[in-house]
């Protein structure tokens, strides 16, 4: 393929929206959701950056069972789906609180 060739394709906006949201979240947190270890798990530092919480707050939430983690040796890891679930719960809670005001 020559550098001057352009490829055009049609993608519905509904399929692009989650991609753009993910890029924005990655830009804001400075952590790529693709930056995971070999098992597809995020470490505590990555989880704290994505959730905008301190590492100690992450450990507290795990102890209170507000956030699920996988323990490997002495380290905690988080599935991407668990981080997304937590963010969605946080978002929904804020929406409910705002609607009651």
Asked if residue 21 lies in contact with residue 14, where contact means CB atoms within 8 angstroms, the answer is: no
Residue 79 φ then ψ, to 5°: -75, 145
CA-based angle 91:95:97, to the nearest 5? Answer: 115
pLDDT tens-digit series, residues 13-37: 777 677 777 777 777 766 555 544 5
Residue 1: inside a domain: no
Residue range 75-100: mean pLDDT, rounded = 86
Residue 8: inside a domain: no
Here the tokens at position 79 are: 């599935």
Residue 4: inside a domain: no
Residue 64: inside a domain: yes
Q: How many domains does the chain have?
A: 1
pLDDT tens-digit series, residues 55-85: 999 999 999 999 999 988 889 999 988 988 8
- Say how far apart CA 97 and CA 5 lie, in whole Å: 52
Segments forming the whole domain that contains residue 46: 13-99
- pLDDT value at 98 more than 60: yes
Q: Is the pTM of this model over 0.75?
A: no
pLDDT at residue 22, rounded to an integer: 72
Residue 7: inside a domain: no
Here the tokens at position 13 are: 């906006």
Here the tokens at position 91 are: 């978002």
């Amino acid at each position: 393929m020559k550098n001057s060739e352009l490829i055009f394709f049609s993608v519905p906006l509904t399929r692009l929206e989650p991609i753009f949201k993910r890029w924005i979240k990655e830009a804001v947190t400075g952590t790529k959701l693709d930056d995971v270890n070999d098992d597809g798990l995020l470490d505590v530092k990555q989880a704290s950056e994505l959730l905008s919480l301190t590492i100690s707050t992450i450990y507290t939430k795990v102890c209170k069972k507000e956030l699920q983690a996988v323990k490997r040796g002495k380290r905690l890891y988080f599935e991407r789906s668990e981080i997304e679930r937590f963010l969605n719960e946080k978002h929904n809670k804020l929406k409910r609180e705002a609607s009651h005001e």
